[in-house]
Structure 1
Amino acid sequence: MAEVLTKSSVNNFPIDEESRKFEKIKTNIYDNSDEASFYVANEIAELIRQRQRQGKHAVLGLATGSTPTKVYEFLVKFHQEEGLSFKNVITFNLDEYYPMEPDSIHSYVRFMNEHLFDHIDIKKENVHIPDGTLEKEDVRDFCDAYEKKIEDAGGIDIQVLGIGRTGHIGFNEPGSSLTSKTRLVRLDRVTRLDAASDFFGLENVPVKAITMGVGTIMAAKRIILMAWGEGKSEVIHQAVEGKIRESVPATFLQNHGNCNFIVDHAAASDLVRVNTPWLVSECDWNEKLIKKATLWLSEKLDKAILKLTNEDYNEYGMGNLIAEIGSAEHINLMVFNQLQATITGWPGGKPNADDSSRPERKDPYPKRSLIFSPHPDDDVISMGGTLLRLVDQGHQVHVAYQTSGNIAVFDDEVIRFLDFATDVQEDNVVLQKQFQEVREFLNSKKPGDVDSPEIQHFKGLIRKGEALAACRYCGVDESNAHFLNLPFYETGTVKKKPHSEADIEITYNLLQEIKPNQIFAAGDLSDPHGTHRVCLQVIYSALDRLVQEGAEWLKDCYVWLYRGAWQEWDIADMEMAVPIGPMDMERKKNAIFKHQSQKDSAMFPGNDEREFWQRAEQRNTETARKYNDLGMAEYEAMEGFVRYHFM
């Protein structure tokens, strides 16, 4: 394991007590969620071993969801490879949907069995999970008994928590009181919306749940709350640095005497010591931090960069920067020129031009441009304007669709396409029989049931046809559309398999075949379903292998990361910004419209219910507005990119 970020640096300044002065809960920031999960699993394992030496039980409060899964994976590993026994462990889970059968794919009973209990030697009688099968009149007595069992076990030694976008812990939604106990609650709409993808639609998410109360959680001797990803940064900021209030239940944890937040860099990105370190301590300034601070100050004061004064810098904790550089005018001009150099209408490089201050090289021209698209529509949603520009400027554009995207197709889309096919081929007995079988399956299908392989295939074909239509519209040759169908994705459910050698090999082979001069990949890591994150890791692994093999073509290859479907890069991070004019914005939206199965209502909208074209338009126009406010030229819209340095 890599060394944990506790005494190293974040944003180039030492992490000391002074830098934490805005934080009301001790917060440890780790390089990534794997390192953080390893730390938490080690602490749990050490408690278990300590209690074994003492001949006592270890009582754990456990959470579900994607956040703690790696912790459970490490605990299973400790059991299987290091002999860690769980015979002295008693567990109490935080919550369960109501009503909910224990064998449902949505049940937390099943979740805990699959991720932990089925793989360790814990005694069945020591496992406690709220019962989602109870009659409503029996729930209160069950909740009282649950509290009594926790008390009889001696209280919870370590309580593991995640955190929801509303700031909920367990299913304690905004408005929960500090003294609340285990009870039946009604779920907030935001919480249900976040769970909609797991249930294949908001309408299938239960409206109630049984949860431990805030008071029950606060009674634990030790609390560890974990959070990963940019999507949790705002609520972590509120919970750690905000006021205690019922509208954000996690803020109650500020009053606990032994609580730690364990987060990765992305989840910590809104904390003061990470986002604006100059407000808490003198910084070790470098070019990147100077740019970030200057852009922040410009936005804070609603001034263009070139209008900032020495007094502005001094007032907001950057006096040492003025002393170090010399004057506001010098800093302003330096940052203005850096920002200006990111803007280019030639994302593939401008031939026969001075490229010394441009983000992309002029040679070779034309370039082989390979765009990786995690789902069949991410290419046009997130960088459709740039894709169109590359085609218009004569580059050889390839698009690699990494997954089939089949789970995001509604059942009635399959019926619609089969209706068409059977009408066209009325005499095709095999097709008629196939259609009848599909209809029968879908008529008996329950929410959350996994589609048959045949239906998964049909849904994949629907997404493939839409992607090809978008390619044709954008001018990408159909032979340059590559459908990788990475195996990790093909489970028929929201939960995916870990990526494997097979995924890396497919990607490696494509890279070797095309030998691109530039690669575009999705760096949209706030994708709530994790597909983007896995797809990017697969690309990184393939590139690492090529680097180790000394692939010559890599020396002349740039890798650009795009965002847009779920969030956008900060202006301070953007290294290439491609302007999009009004006509190209319309062309981009038309390309998105080719994905008709995702139009009007996407299967998995995440925390943004707008259609993808609306999100894309808003984010692109917002980026252009920010550039304009900073004193740059005014554009209709812009797409931003960050360069990944793999060598």
Structure 2
Amino acid sequence: MLTESLPMSHNCAVDGVEKIPCRVFCHASDASRAIAGQIAALIRGRAGEGRTCVLGLATGSTPTGVYDELVRMHREEGLSFQNVVTFNLDEYFPIRPEELQSYVRFMREHLFDHVDIKPENAHVPDGTVSGESVADYCRRYEEMIEDAGGIDLQLLGIGRTGHIGFNEPGSGRSSRTRLITLDRVTRRDAASDFFGEENVPARAITMGVGTILAARQLVLMAWGEGKASIIAQAVEGEISTHVAASFLQEHPNAQIVMDEAAAEHLTRRREPWALGPVDWDDTMIRKAVIWLAKKLDKPLLKLTSEDYNEEGLQDLLANCGPVDSLNLRVFRHLQGTITGWPAGKPDHAKQPGDRSQPGDHIFPKRVLIFSPHPDDDVISMGGTLIRLVDQGHELHVAYQTSGNIAVFDDDAIRFSEFVGEFNRRFGVDPERTAQLEAHVDEFLKQKSPGQVDSEEVQFIKGVIRRTEARAATRCCGVPAERLHFMDMPFYETGRVRKKPLGEEDIRITVDLLREIRPHQVYAAGDLSDPHGTHRTCLAAVLRACKEVENDDWFEDCQVWLYRGAWQEWGPHQIEVAVPLSPQELLRKRVAIFKHESQKDRALFPGPDPREFWQRAEDRNHGTAQLYDKLGLAEYEGIEGFVRWKGEML
């Protein structure tokens, strides 16, 4: 049936390079809706024929957008799951179904409890079977799939090791459902869900590669820059047991659906000119010329005609040359991005020939920085923040979430003891003080891994993050009255998994924008955040900006996107590059150090073992060194920004 496959775009497969059909969407939300539409068409088609639809399902943050859309279609469009049978890919072992990290619980919360699927038709591997009977159970799981008629469509995510399901490196093509030991990288990636790598189960039950390949259709999803490298290996590399996802190359009806960030390392995105003619717009020209300079380790202005021709850029040179003009065009663009005045200059500092920018007539400006967590402001753009304050602008920082789940229990105990000592010294409600100390001590001693904190403990952890944010911005010169703690409701679950972005989140953001009426807004455009909070916070800011775009003050407002601790903008993307001196980088480091609960060892470090200040400095040094190698001025560090142009996630 035609309706059983995603429509292929004209660039869906690149012959000879991409060995799995790929479809790239601007945003993960668009891709999720397309996949949900495919699944809905399959369900309805099977129902119309009086047949069962058998779906293989995945867990994790990647498919949640698909499940959200399926739930919406059930509620608003009458999509029924009465004829649907599901089999999930995997489950941790051992684990009880009611535990927070259980995939049984995940599926109930994200899909099963919100649609009309029959409970007996929803299958998730059982993490409670005994070790002696797990092999027999896995054989029965295979038999249940076979008895249901086989899987019609299997949803897949991909791990950093290239695993599909929990088929770690070394999993063979013929492997079936079994108990497997998890790779160290996989356990580290799951650490945030379990509040520490030491709490992650060492094993899991997973469908095998052979089980997955037996499905009639395979749809693998990937979002964000963090998946770009492994996607390129799976799609363009050789089939290997080291990258289980590469076995999809052998499937007759497999496809990979991704957002632009996850596609960035594919040849079609990394070097599209190697595949055929391209549209040489300004961005593509910059990307190609900078790519050439980096590949040859040459400054931009030293590139020659021979360099372009020998590296496959003859078409660029022929259409946009001569070579000196082409080199100078890109050089001048990069040179023009560098500014020590990120919010514009006062009249007395302006020089003849200064490039005019929108809003240059306003000085000083009201500047609003949105920080997803209480430390992203100084980690991601601390140098620019310091520069803006020093230059006299009215700077506000809005902390979108409390960040309370990212605090160790020991810190909560320490702070409750501090409150107790203080209250006893000054005779403040001794009975209530004793009750609080006893509750915190008893609760945290008996707390199981991953258990949601009590309201009192959550509050204490939130206060810890607030006081650290105040200390960090205080040393940057930001008055306390210009800090705004939004505590957006979507975050306040006490768990790593959050609620969907809601209207109350948008209203809070809109109200703050209208209160401050900023001339500049900075928001985190880092979609590689492994926990998804940055993506949700950015969506809130952009939706709020759309809502206020007709306000009179917004005409003079610019929205800039910064990157977080995981990724930096590419040099061809950067529109404003703020150079940092050694002293400014040191001040930035001091501000980051004020976040003591995240120092030395953060509770949720993500896949990068470095401390946040090290990631930030290495990123700033790296951007500066790249500008230097391209032939521009040498700086100690650079923070890059891209202007929001009105597109939505």
- Distance in 2 between residues matched to 1:540 and 1:590, nearest whole Å: 31
Trace 1:573-588 onto structure 2 (pairs within 5 A).
Answer: 573-588=573-588
The match for 1:499 is: 501
The match for 1:86 is: 81
The match for 2:11 is: 15
- Distance in 2 between residues matched to 1:418 and 1:73, nearest whole Å: 39
Query: In the TM superposition, what is the alpha-carbon distance from 1:158 to its structure 2 partner?
Result: 1.0
Q: 2:12, 2:22 within 8 Å by CA — same for their partners in 1?
A: no
The match for 2:163 is: 168
1:132 aligns with 2:130: no
1:262 aligns with 2:291: no
Q: 1:183, 1:210 within 8 Å by CA — same for their partners in 2?
A: yes
Q: 2:358, 2:556 within 8 Å by CA — same for their partners in 1?
A: no
1:242 aligns with 2:237: yes
Q: 1:559, 1:643 within 8 Å by CA — same for their partners in 2?
A: yes
Q: Which moved more, 1:438-447 or 1:621-630?
A: 438-447
Give RMSD over aligned pairs.
1.7
Paired residue type of 1:171: F
The Cα offsets for residues 508-546 of structure 1, whole Å up to 9 and x where unpaired, read as: 222122211211111111111111111111111111111
Distance 1:416 1:555, change over 3 A: same
- Distance in 1 between residues matched to 2:285 and 2:376, nearest whole Å: 33
Q: Secondary structure at the match of 1:541?
A: helix
Query: In the TM superposition, what is the alpha-carbon distance from 1:562 to its structure 2 partner?
Result: 0.7
- Distance in 2 between residues matched to 1:157 and 1:303, nearest whole Å: 52
Distance 1:45 1:505, change over 3 A: closer
The Cα offsets for residues 363-413 of structure 1, whole Å up to 9 and x where unpaired, read as: 322221211111111110001111111111222211111111111111111
The match for 1:523 is: 525
Query: In the TM superposition, what is the alpha-carbon distance from 1:140 to its structure 2 partner?
Result: 0.6
Q: Which moved more, 1:160-169 or 1:637-646?
A: 637-646
Q: 2:525, 2:564 within 8 Å by CA — same for their partners in 1?
A: no
1:402 aligns with 2:397: no
- Distance in 2 between residues matched to 1:531 and 1:16, nearest whole Å: 30
- Distance in 2 between residues matched to 1:38 and 1:345, nearest whole Å: 42
The Cα offsets for residues 330-386 of structure 1, whole Å up to 9 and x where unpaired, read as: 100010000001111111222231475366754322221211111111110001111
1:380 aligned residue (375, 378, 383): 378
The Cα offsets for residues 32-73 of structure 1, whole Å up to 9 and x where unpaired, read as: 222222222222222222322333322211111111122222
Distance 1:605 1:528, change over 3 A: same
2:215 aligned residue (203, 217, 220): 220
Q: 2:575, 2:643 within 8 Å by CA — same for their partners in 1?
A: yes
Trace 1:152-301 onto structure 2 (pairs within 5 A).
Answer: 152-301=147-296
Q: 1:5, 1:30 within 8 Å by CA — same for their partners in 2?
A: no
Unaligned runs of 5+ in 2: 1-5
Query: In the TM superposition, what is the alpha-carbon distance from 1:190 to its structure 2 partner?
Result: 1.0
Q: Which moved more, 1:499-508 or 1:488-497?
A: 499-508
Distance 1:47 1:511, change over 3 A: closer
Q: 2:416, 2:440 within 8 Å by CA — same for their partners in 1?
A: no
Unaligned runs of 5+ in 1: 8-13
- Distance in 1 between residues matched to 2:7 and 2:81, nearest whole Å: 30
1:348 aligned residue (343, 353, 358): 343
Query: In the TM superposition, what is the alpha-carbon distance from 1:605 to its structure 2 partner?
Result: 0.7
- Distance in 1 between residues matched to 2:630 and 2:74, nearest whole Å: 55
Distance 1:87 1:553, change over 3 A: closer
Query: In the TM superposition, what is the alpha-carbon distance from 1:248 to its structure 2 partner?
Result: 0.8
The match for 1:10 is: none
The Cα offsets for residues 270-303 of structure 1, whole Å up to 9 and x where unpaired, read as: 1111222111111121111111110011111111
Q: Please, what TM-score do these two structures have when normalized by structure 1?
A: 0.95
Distance 1:127 1:508, change over 3 A: closer
Query: In the TM superposition, what is the alpha-carbon distance from 1:424 to its structure 2 partner?
Result: 2.1
Query: In the TM superposition, what is the alpha-carbon distance from 1:76 to its structure 2 partner?
Result: 2.5
1:475 aligns with 2:471: no
Query: In the TM superposition, what is the alpha-carbon distance from 1:474 to its structure 2 partner?
Result: 0.6
Paired residue type of 1:610: R
Q: Secondary structure at the match of 1:474?
A: coil
1:117 aligned residue (102, 112, 118): 112
- Distance in 2 between residues matched to 1:512 and 1:82, nearest whole Å: 36
Distance 1:66 1:156, change over 3 A: same
Trace 1:296-315 onto structure 2 (pairs within 5 A).
Answer: 296-315=291-310
Distance 1:246 1:360, change over 3 A: farther
Q: Secondary structure at the match of 2:475?
A: helix
Query: In the TM superposition, what is the alpha-carbon distance from 1:629 to its structure 2 partner?
Result: 0.9
Q: Which moved more, 1:53-62 or 1:283-292?
A: 53-62
Distance 1:5 1:217, change over 3 A: closer
Paired residue type of 2:470: L
Q: Please, what TM-score do these two structures have when normalized by structure 2?
A: 0.95
Q: Which moved more, 1:28-37 or 1:591-600?
A: 28-37
Trace 1:498-647 onto structure 2 (pairs within 5 A).
Answer: 498-547=500-549, 550-646=550-646
- Distance in 2 between residues matched to 1:89 and 1:328, nearest whole Å: 61
Q: Percent identity over the alignment?
A: 58
